[in-house]
Chain A
Amino acid sequence: MNEIIICVGSSCHLKGSEKIIEIFKKEIEKNQLQEIKISGSFCQGNCTAGVNIEIDGQKIAAVTEENARGIFKKYLLDDQNE
């Protein structure tokens, strides 16, 4: 079971967390991943480097619309292929 947590605090929101959520949801659907829990979190105390997310307990900063798919692939898809 993988877990994605995305910060929806004010500044991450302004930096686009809503779009990141959309992208991740789409990727989950597209790749037909069943065992993934995706949820929101409040400020993780790292606003300057937003959008902040967490995948399986690992903190990842500076997620953007552009790199979100790559991050998703790196952390959640390669895992499966092994």
Chain B
Amino acid sequence: MGLVFEEFYRSIPKAGEEVCGDSVEIIKKGNKTIVVLSDGLGSGIKANILSTLTAKIASGLLEKELPLKEILSTILATLPVCEVRGIAYATLVFLIIDQNQQLRLIEIDSPSAFLFRNKQVQKLDYREFELEGKKIREANFKFQRQDQLFLVSDGVTHAGIGGLLNFGLGWEGVACEIERVVKRSQTDLKNNINKLVKVFNTFYGDQAGDDFTIIGMKYRRKRKLNIWSGPPLKKENDSLLARKISEAEGKKIISGGTTAQIAARELNRDLEVGFKYYDRDIPPISKMDGIELLTEGLLTLNRVLSMLKKYKPGQIPVEGKDGASRFTRLLLESDSVKFLVGRAVNESHQSLNLPINLGIRSQIISQIAEQLRRIKKKVEIEWF
């Protein structure tokens, strides 16, 4: 089973601000991952625009695979510089990791990265040089299977400043917190990021004094997800589909009430129909042995599609206990997704005057597949 590089981040705006002045861009290209973090000077909209500009310029140039030195010169020359203070408006960190797990990290005016290796956090070995009058730190190393790397904006190293702590957590303090949290559970990266955000927020007394961002990265095994939605056109394929989903490798979702009934009948398993609404617009989920998630069909799929459209790579998957949120989470946590789609149409849906068109399963699933490909998931669809 192959490995995949996974990354999660959270950005928290300074208390009272609507938007965060830190920006993160994550690009997956072939077997390469590019991560960019930029922190705009100050906070609020101005900082947000500056950091977005910086992160976009950087990720765009990096994606074009120009020589690194050229990229750096271009970025440094284009970074807006404050006329009064004579310094760049935004900081910049970026890293590129290739299929050989070789990682290259560049930091400009930003806190050093945190490498979690052998149960402790350590600082990387940096080479420093000057370019366009800027001090630049560069680290090159082979990312190991069990390594975890964390990047933060200075809002994290300053957590607690002037309040709980005189000078904030500092690099050592942050290293200590990361080590404590990650040591306890090394597998669930997104949960660890959530925990760390809570810790830093607590140092700020829940009133963040500055925008802050933390990005975590590590390798994990690839995950597979199989989804069966819709009864097949030919009834004799019922048993084939039931067998396919039951024998598939990885996690399983069945989407659709009738589909679930077919599966229960063909596999001779009990079907426990759910009754609990977590969201008024999404019908309840049901239960069957061996199937991770059993949802209603088209309403749920429509919601899944709209959630996927809003998703930006690296974000922590949506919360929520309703069928569509759970469905979306499973999709986002998987690397390859296989759809088994039955194209039979519920005749009675056609004659109804319903607020949305229920007769378009194949279109919705094609659109979901398109969204999944956008965030670099491997998608396969079989029609029946």
Chain A interface (Cβ < 8 Å from any Cβ of B)? 8-11, 13-14, 17-18, 21, 38-43, 45-48
Contact = CB atoms under 8 A, between A and B. Distances in A.
B15 interface: no
Interface stretch (B35-43, B141-149, B351-359): B351-359
Contacts of A39: 273, 275
Residue of B260, B280, B283, B352 with highest tally of chain A CB at under 10 A? B283
Contacts of A11: 346, 348-349, 352, 354, 358
Given A10-B297, A10-B349, A43-B257, A18 B355 contact: no
Interface string B250-264: 000000011011000
Nearest to B355: A14
Contacts of A38: 275
B383 interface: no
B163 interface: no
B354 A13 contact: no
Contacts of A17: 283
Q: Considering the complex of A and B, which 8 residue pairs feature the smallest CB-CB distances, nearest first?
A: A42-B257, A47-B348, A40-B273, A40-B275, A9-B257, A13-B283, A43-B257, A48-B348
Contacts of A9: 257-258, 283, 296
A13 B296 contact: yes
B58 to A, nearest CB: 45
Contact of A41 (B273, B296, B354, B356): B273
A12 to B, nearest CB: 9
A42 B358 contact: no
Nearest to B259: A42
Interface in B356-384: 356, 358
Q: How large is the interface on B (under 10, 10 to 19, 20 to 34, 35 or more residues)?
A: 20 to 34
B284 interface: yes
Contacts of A14: 299, 354-356
Nearest to B300: A10
A43 B273 contact: no
23 contacts: A8-B284, A8-B296, A9-B296, A10-B283, A10-B298, A10-B299, A10-B358, A11-B349, A13-B296, A13-B299, A18-B283, A38-B275, A39-B273, A39-B275, A40-B284, A41-B273, A42-B258, A42-B271, A43-B257, A43-B258, A43-B346, A46-B348, A47-B346
Nearest to A14: B354
B269 to A, nearest CB: 14
A8 B273 contact: yes
B277 interface: yes
B274 interface: yes
Contacts of B299: 10, 13-14
B258 A21 contact: no
Nearest to A38: B275
A59 to B, nearest CB: 15
